[in-house]
Structure 1
């Protein structure tokens, strides 16, 4: 089983004092500042509340194995929590359409599949989205992984299926945020679903071609993920304790439109809940700056490293691709056959490493075959056979 090492930090460089909420991850190795309060969330996670004076930095390091959904049996209280109506995943907005699509289906998993197929086929992935929330997504038909996930959660709940929005990150490199879903199937437990990745793989299959993130065939995202993800919070709109005191007259900066309404990040909550914890939510206590803040000032910084062998393959892959480009350039300038051999061999190695990493198996399989044939031809052309 792969183990990923996560380093997270948030430094208050914004105002004299701020409050910060963060799900305290299991497997914590070190935590720089101690929480003022720890609350048990309905998801079973522990929510830490921190107060950071200006210049103070919160640093957290922890390890996570390849994430797999929980298989526990839901209590009645938990079931109700995962069927609740929220701002970002409004059930009223989708109930009529959901019942129209799933009314003829009795099996909950098949209902979830119908919802999955509908969202993948009817909506378009863009980043960044103009607004957050299901109401906005339904109106524009365009959104990122957050909007796809909020909609899947809302439709499942409208169909009577407990569902949650998983907030996390790709387990490769720095700040590669991602959001997906799990729905609860009686007798099976939590069932992973990723409508945004399915949509991208179906409609934009080359989008991840040069990425270090492995991908699946689009239909396989109903029930599977690639395994290289970490989780920050097991749902969106988690209640914040101590209670989040909204600013009655917020300063209009860090505005994130939600369902057509202005929302000021760091000054407001959604009925006492954070929109999402990725991995933190903040509250400016005094003297907020009159300027839009950067992502790191709002969410901090995180970096994820995999096992040494997996990290090593990333550098080998990038080096072989770079050498291939150099070989192409030298071949074009000199016309020497030896450089044909050099670049075809480099791209062959690049494709092979990608296959070992389970990235775009079909595409890189074709590239590997073509580069192998070209390498053999270049070998003969160079007079080496």
Structure 2
């Protein structure tokens, strides 16, 4: 069953001079509304479509499109190029002797690809702690700190799988129901089944912090289910991190950046070194495409850096359609009614507002249940508020 969402993306070049932009947004698809045409399009060995264009000073890029939410990929075979691409070593996802030794230790006794990947999944979930923002990016930092966000969990899973010959990729995308709610997870390839989804960070949160998503619009699963199953409430921006940028990214010399009048912000470190987003790449690659990567004009180093995250990632909003979209809006409206009614019920001690408070809670619960978000919990809550609702209605009549 399709779950179509509408995606609105925009980027305003509030910088000095030209801003070069690479993106994996589907700029040339027939059903896309877009203010710009790509100047160049490249398809990499992992079948990612990368588009390139430039924005003049104060120019705005806007794009709207609809897409089905993420579902398990049905591809059953990989070409030699695809297999090599998803087994490669990089700066963030490293395949070396240390990782090979660790991966073999974790998977000792496992025979099939599925058994090995499952062992890696349990190891990553059990041995690392979720923390945002991370101190650094990449598995070297993750191994040292033993904590990181969804990106680091996915890089670690990819690195361990690739180290023992299992093609694996990090999927960079977003939750499909809000503004700029980025997320990263994995797929590994099994020759018997195809691409299989895995989300180690969500598994950790559901295992250790069960209440974190209690009131959110994200449908959650039992933590072990995140090996092989997802909730179909996300969209994909790119298949894998460290995608090669074409045209070539013209890195500024790091010392030139450091010695500039106004050094830019450092969002994170890679291998203990500051990474300057918008002024350098990672061995010619974007660290991750979410859903753009930019290169600012050098003259921006002569002014105070823009700390607005929209200057680095742009803005996106994802709106659900159909029944999910309806119950999402109903939930938001019911929250508003709940807060208004609870204030008046305390001020006026009126059975009308008490009934309205209980009724709004029940409607909120029904919305959660209809969206299949923690249905058992919200069924119990709805039943709990049913009695005061009926009691206050009886007082009114």
How does the TM-score come out when normalised to structure 2? 0.91
Whether 1:225 aligns to 2:230 is yes
Task: For residue 63 of structure 2, give the secondary structure of its aligned residue in structure 1.
Answer: strand
Whether 1:364 aligns to 2:378 is yes
Q: Does the Cα contact within 8 Å between 1:28 and 1:61 map onto a contact in 2?
A: no
Counterpart in the other structure of 1:375:
389
Structure 2 counterparts to residues 1-385 of structure 1, below 5 A: 1-25=2-26, 28-72=31-75, 73-92=77-96, 93-248=98-253, 249-251=256-258, 252-255=263-266, 256-289=268-301, 290-379=304-393, 382=395
Structure 1, unpaired ranges of 5+: none
* Greater CA drift, 281-290 or 9-18: 281-290
Task: For residue 295 of structure 2, give the secondary structure of its aligned residue in structure 1.
Answer: strand
Q: Does the Cα contact within 8 Å between 1:27 and 1:63 map onto a contact in 2?
A: no
Q: Does the Cα contact within 8 Å between 2:352 and 2:396 map onto a contact in 1?
A: no
Q: Does the Cα contact within 8 Å between 2:91 and 2:282 map onto a contact in 1?
A: yes
Q: Deviations over 1:49-100 (max 9, x none)?
A: 1122212222222221122233221012211110111111112353222211
| Aligned-residue offset at 1:378 | 4.7
Residues 297 and 41 from structure 1, CA distance in 2 versus in 1: closer, same or farther, beyond 3 angstroms? same
Task: For residue 262 of structure 1, give the secondary structure of its aligned residue in structure 2.
Answer: strand
* Greater CA drift, 136-145 or 267-276: 136-145
| Aligned-residue offset at 1:334 | 4.0
Q: Does the Cα contact within 8 Å between 1:24 and 1:45 map onto a contact in 2?
A: no
Q: Deviations over 1:341-362 (max 9, x none)?
A: 3322221111111110111223
Give, in whole Å, the separation in 1 of the partners of 2:376 and 2:61. 43
| Aligned-residue offset at 1:8 | 1.1
Task: For residue 270 of structure 2, give the secondary structure of its aligned residue in structure 1.
Answer: coil
Give, in whole Å, the separation in 2 of the partners of 1:15 and 1:154. 38
The aligned length equals 383
Structure 2, unpaired ranges of 5+: none
**RMSD over aligned Cα, in angstroms?**
1.9
Residues 342 and 59 from structure 1, CA distance in 2 versus in 1: closer, same or farther, beyond 3 angstroms? closer
Q: Deviations over 1:168-202 (max 9, x none)?
A: 11111211111111111112111111111111111
Give, in whole Å, the separation in 1 of the partners of 2:136 and 2:342. 44
Give, in whole Å, the separation in 2 of the partners of 1:47 and 1:179. 18
Task: For residue 250 of structure 1, give the secondary structure of its aligned residue in structure 2.
Answer: helix
Give, in whole Å, the separation in 2 of the partners of 1:161 and 1:246. 32
Residues 335 and 13 from structure 1, CA distance in 2 versus in 1: closer, same or farther, beyond 3 angstroms? closer
Q: Deviations over 1:210-252 (max 9, x none)?
A: 2122222211111111112111111100011111121113243
